Amino acid sequence: MIPALYADDDILILDKPAGLAVQPGAGVRVCVLDAVERDYGFRPYLVHRLDKETAGCLIVARSPRAAAAVSALLGGNGAVKEYRAVVSGKPDPATGVYRDDVRVRGAARSAETRYRTLDSDGRLSVVSAVLGTGRMHQIRQHFAQAGHPIIGDDKHGDFRLNKALARELGMKRLMLYAASLYLPLSSPVEVHASLPPHFAAFFDRWGHGAPA
């Protein structure tokens, strides 16, 4: 059962595990939509998406009306989505904003990602990233364009480094998760995802505690 972080009459916020696809597709036996119907008793409507390998806060709605209303909030109307990632190198400056265009289905789209470095040993860094826009693979593309690809990224990442870190630290999954979410509803909602197991294992092997 996917743990619930919040539930009301309109939405359900899940703590999605890494490796679970959000919707049906080739090779997908069970997806989030199936799991919610099985475990929570309703067929959900997607509000937004997370990549299969991205864990953390995911909103689904109980009706098309609710899905449209919350989706509008996520479009820059006060909602805050924060992600945590492990990236190559050390961003300089330690805090900043990426505004380079990203590619979405072959077309260049404007995008904004605000980031903050939480911990680093020079070779690897733990960063916080807050979306200003919600483009597909936006965070992954922005950090890769800046020379700090996310570890475990099999599309935009440093494949040689990924292989080396899989051997050294056992890092075989995408090191990105949706850590927290704030929704400015009539009664504001703020939730925090649990630390994914592969992140906990990384912090243990890396010798650093998880940043607050």
Q: What digits encode the pLDDT tens for the residues 140-193? A: 999 999 999 999 999 998 999 999 999 998 888 999 999 999 999 989 999 999
Backbone CA torsion sign across 124, 130, 132, 135? positive
The per-residue pLDDT of the chain, averaged, comes to 92
Work out whether strand 80-88 and strand 176-183 pair parallel, antiparallel, or are unpaired.
antiparallel
More confident residue, 73 or 198: 198
Catalytic residues: 51
Q: Where are the alpha helices (DSSP H) in 21-63?
A: 32-40
What's the rounded Cα separation, in Å, for the pair 98 and 145? 9
* pLDDT, tens digit (0-9, with 9 covering 90-100), for 32-54: 999 999 999 999 999 999 999 99
Instruction: Kindly indicate the confidence band of residue 97, based on its pLDDT and cuts at 50, 70 and 90.
Output: very high
Inter-CA distances, 112 with 16, 46, 134, 150, 174, Å: 24, 23, 8, 17, 21
Q: What does the pLDDT read at residue 141? A: 94
pLDDT for residue 70 is more than 80: yes
* pLDDT, tens digit (0-9, with 9 covering 90-100), for 116-146: 999 999 999 999 999 888 788 899 999 999 9
pLDDT for residue 25 is more than 80: no
What's the rounded Cα separation, in Å, for the pair 37 and 164? 40
Instruction: Read off φ and ψ for residue 169, nearest 5 degrees.
Output: -120, 5
pLDDT for residue 101 is more than 70: yes
Instruction: Kindly indicate the confidence band of residue 76, based on its pLDDT and cuts at 50, 70 and 90.
Output: low
**Whole-model pTM?**
0.93
Q: What does the pLDDT read at residue 17? A: 96
* pLDDT, tens digit (0-9, with 9 covering 90-100), for 1-15: 899 999 999 999 999
